Structure 1
Amino acid sequence: MHPDRTALGEVAAVSVGVTVAVVVVFALGVLGLARPEGTRARQDGTSALGLGQATLCFLACAAVVAYGIHLIVPQFH
């Protein structure tokens, strides 16, 4: 039995790439919540633009996680 090293390398590269991408998108979402923007900031210190950025980033992270679960669980196929 000989493992296919090319396929193993592809899987490793894609998993590292997706992991880094999800971490960066999540960090951008946290940044959107943490940074007030000038006079448009609301009472709690966040702006509408930052809140929208955070919402989109967190939804993208949730979509990637849901897709990963869909790939792993056989009942979803």
Structure 2
Amino acid sequence: MSLHIKWNALAQTAGISFGVTVAVVAVFALGILALSRREAAAGTGEAGTGTAGGGKPALLVGAYACFAVCAAAVVYGLVLIAAP
């Protein structure tokens, strides 16, 4: 029995995995950045808050959207792993 490795498929899988990992980390970092900028805006007392906690609501929505994208990517990965 001969073992034959499909190097092209292995390289494609590694490249896509690396790209998706970098993208998810970048989106998560953008979410953290949005939260920190919101806290900084709340700390300086900038106007336009509209919330009891202060800060800019658009930054909070953006941060939650980034975290939702990250969570969706993780769930999709788990579904791919668990698929029969």
TM-score (norm 1): 0.86
RMSD: 1.6
5+ residue gaps in structure 2?
none
Match of 2:47 among 39, 42, 56: 39
Computing the radius of gyration from Cα coordinates, the structure with the larger value is 2
Deviation at 1:39, TM superposition (A): 2.0
Amino-acid identity (%): 44
TM-score (norm 2): 0.79
Runs of 4+ displaced beyond 6 Å:
none
Q: Which moved more, 1:35-44 or 1:61-70?
A: 35-44
1:1-77 paired onto structure 2 within 5 Å: 1-36=3-38, 37=41, 38-41=46-49, 42=51, 44-74=53-83
Name the count of aligned residue pairs: 75
Partners of 1:2 and 1:45 lie apart in 2 by 60
5+ residue gaps in structure 1?
none
Q: Is the 8 A contact 1:28 1:57 kept in 2?
A: yes
